[in-house]
Amino acid sequence: MAKISESDLKAMITKSDPASAKLLVDHAKDLGRQLKNANLTTSQIRAIFGEVRQIQAQLSIGEQERERALRKLILLKPKMAYRARRERGRGVEELTSVLDPAIDLIVGGSDQEIQGQHFQRFVDFFEAILAYHKAAGGN
């Protein structure tokens, strides 16, 4: 599986210019096709994506919920690692290898706060992966 470079991932998550958006689409297209070829199912992707959507909903509620959302986002990493180990095939593991470092870019440095715009770009990337996986014939 082609690995996304740290600089490309950082540009996709932290920048909002057209070049980074194109980079996001290109990588999502490649990754969606590779995950389909690794026999990753749409339901396996949606299991993780559903949790991301719950976090997104919590972020819009209020400050106390933002803290819970941050906690859920940080705890998503071990959940993904567990799923990657439990599921047959390497699809979940390959998806996790991309999403895990992206989560690190979303959570701020020492202040441990979710960077809202970064999180939205992460959601955009994840949605694009799901769309391209389906477009490539993923079940």
**Per-residue pLDDT at 41 exceeds 60:** yes
Q: What is the pLDDT of residue 109?
A: 57
Name the nearest CA neighbour of 127 among 39, 17, 42.
Answer: 42
Contact 129, 32 (CB under 8 A): yes
CA distance 44 to 90: 12
Numbers of helices and strands, H then E, in the chain:
6, 0
Are 106 and 5 in contact by the 8 Å Cβ rule? The answer is: no
Q: What is the DSSP string of 50-93?
A: HHHHHHHHHHTT-HHHHHHHHHHHHHHHHHHHHHHHHSSSSHHH
What are the residue boundaries of the structural domains of the chain, listed by start?
7-136
Query: What's the predicted TM-score (pTM) here?
Result: 0.90
Distance CA 57, CA 82 (A): 24
Phi, psi angle pair for 88, to nearest 5°:
-75, 150
Write out pLDDT tens, residues 68-118. Answer: 888 999 999 999 999 999 887 788 999 999 999 999 988 865 455 567 789
